[in-house]
Amino acid sequence: MTRLRFSSSDGLLLLMTTIWGVNYSIVKVALREIPPLPFNSLRLGMASLLFLLTLALCRRGLTPTIGLRGSTGSPPPGLVEGRTSDCPASAPPVFQRSRINPRDWLLIAGFGLIGHFVYQLCFLFGLDRTTVANSSLILGCSPVVVALLSAAVGHERVRPLHWAGVALSVAGIYFVVGRGARIGGESLAGDVLTICGLVCWGVYTVGAKGLLDRHSPLEVTGYSMAIGTIPYALLSAGEMRAFDWSRVQVQTWMALVFSAVFALFVAYLIWYAAVQRIGNVRTAMCSNVTPVAALAVAVLWLGERLTIDEVAGAIAILTGMALTRLVPVPPARAIAPAEE
């Protein structure tokens, strides 16, 4: 027997995709005044600093005074010792510092370089050399890459419903933002860079799963981002010094802060908390809802008109995501698996 199961993690992932959907329009506005490399370097630096400051509030092996959904004081409802009902019993709480051995530091550093430095470069320069439609369609295949890598390393059994959901979701991406995609030709270099970025994101997501069994999402995400930001900042230092920052308007600074705090700090923390709790495949599937959120923002905020193709694509994406939630209901006395 199967049932459609949604959890608190799904609600947080919906918030994450909404943030990323809003962030797309905000970043486009900010990049009119700030060049891409300095903009990305600043927002990565701000987010890394926020992660490190939050980690400084955490006691080693204990949850901090701020909870995932509560304020100061006792843990919020549904959070026992920093864990939600979705979280495997052995998984570290979201907000916690732990003793990290040298091997794990090497892994965090490696995934930081892959998932933040190399990925950001591939995405940025890939988008500059290809079309938005091509980039959206290629990155929309991230659930496929994550599912393949997860199955290859034995993290998750990818079931037929998952594959069906992934296929339907990618088809929906095509109808929403990818109808103008033409892979190859003049955009070949950008397409290849974007594909490299896609692989980096898959390796970063799947590879860090083992670290999340031993360390909190806050640690894994915060330290890896801070390490990946260092070479990125060095690469963009010359352009940052040459840029006239006095010309940047207040609303652009506000866009930069929003992107750093919400699109990086909050959204990335939700991403890895979800990887820890519900697995790589289900988490990656939710990323394809981002174009739907961006479309909704464009309609409600910018007054854009919906097309039939966009509506059909949005339905396909949401249906594909729902298919990955159809899971077998375990027997009454059986223990449900930590991941699907």
Q: How many CB atoms lie within 10 A of CB 148?
A: 15
pLDDT band at 219 (very low <50, low <70, confident <90, very high): very high
Task: List the one residue out of 195, 187, 184 whose CA is nearest residue 144.
Answer: 195
CA 184 to CA 171: how far, in whole Å? 19
State the pLDDT at residue 80. 33
**Cα-Cα-Cα-Cα dihedral of 179, 180, 186, 189, to 10°?**
-50
Dump pLDDT digits (tens) for 221-244: 999 999 999 999 999 999 999 999
Task: List the one residue out of 220, 264, 287, 193 whose CA is nearest residue 41.
Answer: 264
pLDDT band at 194 (very low <50, low <70, confident <90, very high): confident
Q: Which one has a higher pLDDT value, 4 or 320?
A: 320
- List, as one string, the DSSP characters of 214-258: TS-HHHHHHHHHHHHHHHHHHHHHHHHHHS-GGG--HHHHHHHHH
Based on its alpha-carbon atoms, the radius of gyration of the chain, rounded to whole angstroms, reads 20
The token pair that represents 130 in the structure block = 């290809």
Beta pairing, strands 2-4 & 326-328? antiparallel
Range 267-280 average pLDDT: 89
* DSSP 8-state assignment for residue 328: E
Dump pLDDT digits (tens) for 8-63: 777 888 889 889 878 877 887 888 899 989 999 999 999 999 999 999 998 776 44
Percent of the chain with pLDDT over 90: 35
Dump pLDDT digits (tens) for 282-317: 888 887 787 777 777 767 766 767 778 778 887 888
- List, as one string, the DSSP characters of 69-96: S--BSSPPTT-BTTB-TTS-TTSPPSS-
Range 271-286 average pLDDT: 86
State the pLDDT at residue 43. 94
State the pLDDT at residue 259. 93
- The partner residues of 328 in beta bridges, in order of sequence, read 2
Q: Which region among 54-68, 186-200, 222-236, 251-265 has the lowest average model confidence (pLDDT)?
A: 54-68
State the pLDDT at residue 225. 96
CA 291 to CA 85: how far, in whole Å? 29
What does the chain come to in residues?
340
pLDDT band at 67 (very low <50, low <70, confident <90, very high): very low
Residue 319 is which amino acid? Answer: T
Residue 334 has pLDDT above 80, yes or no: no
CA 257 to CA 209: how far, in whole Å? 29
